[in-house]
Amino acid sequence: MATILIVNAGSSSLKFQLFSIDGGDTLERLLKGQLDGIGTKPRLVVRDARGQVVAENAFSADKVEDLAAAQDVVGTWLLGHVGTPPTAVGHRVVHGGPFYSEPTVVDDQVLVTLEELIPLAPLHQPNNLAPIHSIRRQRPDLLQVACFDTAFHRGHPEIADRFAIPEAFYREGVRRYGFHGLSYEYIAGRLRELAPDLAKGRVIVAHLGSGCSMCALVGGRSVESTMGFTALDGLPMGTRPGQIDAGVVLYLLGEKVMDVKAVEHLLYHECGLKGLSGISSDMRELLASSDKRARLALDYFVYRVAMAAGALAAAMGGLDGFVFTAGVGENAPTIRQAIAERLAWLGIEVDPVANAEGRLRISSPQSRVTVLTVPTDEERMIAGHTLAILRHSAR
């Protein structure tokens, strides 16, 4: 059986999905799994296409101490369960820099270039690349495809990509890239299926999860995004601050005498909802808490999302649709309702029952703007890109 393995590696987890491919372009999800707690309490859980658990194993910390070891464990389990190695592997890679605007076959030079981009995404890029290195060591002949979170935004007009800094920096690649592009690309495709008329118009997609951003789509193409040079910018996130005055960073370096690594750790791991609340980075815990600090964090999050939505609507010259997606966007009706209430001036009105039930369309009949909740599927997007490259390389 020919299969495509999709790998999405994080700092302490390795998510994967396995798709079967027939002679055409059909992708059928066979398995979906995650090995989390890497280096602390490793645990592998795999489910089949029906959501039934087919494997649940715990490991000692020294058995799965890093992502390379996690890849070995997952690869060994898959080979034993499926019987044959995958035909190709697709990877989510957060940053493609100014170099990659489409999915790319990984070779030695591509890996060197992607390693050079680590300073632009220190929280994600090293983890994204670790499984690629591991697989190349064991199976150098296996086709691996890198799919970039920045690629979908590469068509932005120059005015949207620029910072107001000297030209030389822009030529070096210091520009606004935007992220979560695989999610936005998937949602743009789903809109063409679910609401084709809306897909032709002006739509804001809110990817709200542990990492958060928003994207302005016009005719299904990205024209603006809240994230910029790195995945720190824009909306407040689980542990990242979002938009912050550069002077704060200068203050931390100068007055607080923090070194660069300390500032980097603070901005990537100690800010956002975690920093504001002092309780948790998890939206579910904050929603369940009666602590006033949790309320502050939630109110701040909603306030900033609404502000960003106004800016994106201005960039498009109006708004026809608003889409919630990702973990929080798909599963937190309270947050959706609060954001919608702050955006009433744009003509958004949510139906409370439809919103509480998480229906596809949650806007009321009176709403001038169509509001949808659409689950994202970055792994299927990666699988589609990988299959296209696999088919092309076979010609």
C-alpha span between 312 and 177 (Å, rounded): 15
For residue 267 the two structure tokens come to 């901005």
Two tokens, residue 269: 């791991």
Q: Which phi and psi (to 5°) does residue 210 adopt?
A: -65, -40
- Spatial CB neighbours of 109, under 8 Å, sequence gap ≥ 6: none
Q: In 3D, which of 105, 191, 113, 159 has the Cα closest to residue 370?
A: 191
Q: Give DSSP secondary structure letters for 95-129.
A: --TTT-SS-EE--HHHHHHHHHTGGGSTTTHHHHH
- Catalytic site includes residue 141: no
Name the residue among 67, 70, 66, 28 with its Cα closest to residue 45: 70
Kindly report the backbone phi and psi dihedral angles of residue 167, in degrees, each rounded to the nearest multiple of 5, phi listed first.
-55, -35
Q: Which of 62, 72, 108, 149 is catalytic?
A: 149
Specify which residues 27 forms β-bridges with: 21
Cite the active site residues.
149
